[in-house]
Structure 1
Amino acid sequence: MSDTEDLRRAALAVRENAHAPYSGFHVGAAIRTTSGAVFLGCNVENVAYPEGTCAEAGAIAAMVAAGERRIAEAYVVAGSPDPVPPCGGCRQKLAEFAGGDVPVTLATVDGAERRTTVAALLPGAFGAAHMEGA
């Protein structure tokens, strides 16, 4: 089993629970924390489009609700011909809880994968250091 195989299986499974009646675009995310715990999220659309929740945001919310704060790895899978990167807001959310070197695997349901890092997804990220002296 590859290092990310458990995350892939979990993200594929939770993707099935996505609520995407408007776009039909189902996304699943699995994040592993530095403690080894895995948290899942799927996209949840709302008829008022901006009010939906991305899969990555859902997984991060579950992580925080469980008392965890540090992401060690993330895996995102979508029903797309090519691996889909997180939206800008989710890139910032990942950067809040993960170092720049944290691996992020972007995948399709057919098995195509692209491995990147949080820093590559969000170069020049706004961080806590920017708030010093505020």
Structure 2
Amino acid sequence: MLATAESCTGGMIAAACTDLAGSSQWFERGFVTYSNAAKTELLGVHAALIAQHGAVSEPVARAMAEGAIDRSHAQVSVAVTGVAGPSGGSADKPVGTVWLAWHVDGHTHSERCQFAGDRAAVRGATVWNALAQLAHLLRS
């Protein structure tokens, strides 16, 4: 069973999964945790972790993926947090910066991506990469 924990994609990964007929056999739930408070309340991401590293960071993405496992009946999760734009970027986290994390077979994996384009392009690339890497990890 799969759980998603999404910030910058706002539920698009869950929507892509549930667009598939039969997804009720493997999709358990999705968390849309757009705000920092939602990450803390719904996924158990420590506020201090967000304060120290920022919401768009590897530690937060990993905590989101692990929180989705801890707060669901899923065995596999994917989490994303990023800056989709057009504003909100910074020198160290420009628009298009996305951290992705996956929890598969008891291990958490993470990756930083820098996507180009407008808000829709960044969000679409995030969904595609999140699911492509999930499929790769499940095959490994």
Q: TM-score range by the shorter chain?
A: 0.3 to 0.5
TM-score (norm 1): 0.38
Considering Cα pairs closer than 8 Å and 6+ residues apart, tell me whether 1 or 2 has the greater RCO.
2
Structure 1 or 2: larger helix share? 2
TM-score (norm 2): 0.36
